Amino acid sequence: GKQVKPMLLKTYFLNKTDNVSVMRSFNNACVVLWPDGIEYDRVWLVLADQASYMLLAIANLKSMYSNLKHVTCIAQALHRVCEAIKDEYSYAN
């Protein structure tokens, strides 16, 4: 019933960006939030880009986090649109 203050749980600087590293980082951040055991049903949303490794990681995470939904970051979505326009119209570059 009360509004929750936004917080940053953890920041990772990955040497290798692949779906396994993303999944491990996601789970580790949940351990920070719930040190006595991850409350899988309380994780509802992940905001990420549509890179193939992110889509695979999120698809795999959905098997553990039953309520998890993926929302594409609007900045990433706009970037993809701009890249498509640039590819289609060389003068737009």
CB 77 within 8 A of CB 51: no
For residue 86, report the phi and psi dihedrals to the nearest 5 degrees. -60, -40
Q: What is the mean pLDDT of the chain?
A: 90
Is 6 buried (19+), middle (13-18) or exposed (0-12) by CB count in 10 A?
A: exposed
Spans of the chain below 70 pLDDT:
92-93
Rg over alpha carbons for the chain, rounded to the nearest Å, is 16
Per residue in 51-77, pLDDT tens?
Answer: 899 999 999 999 999 999 999 888 877
pLDDT for the residue 37? 96
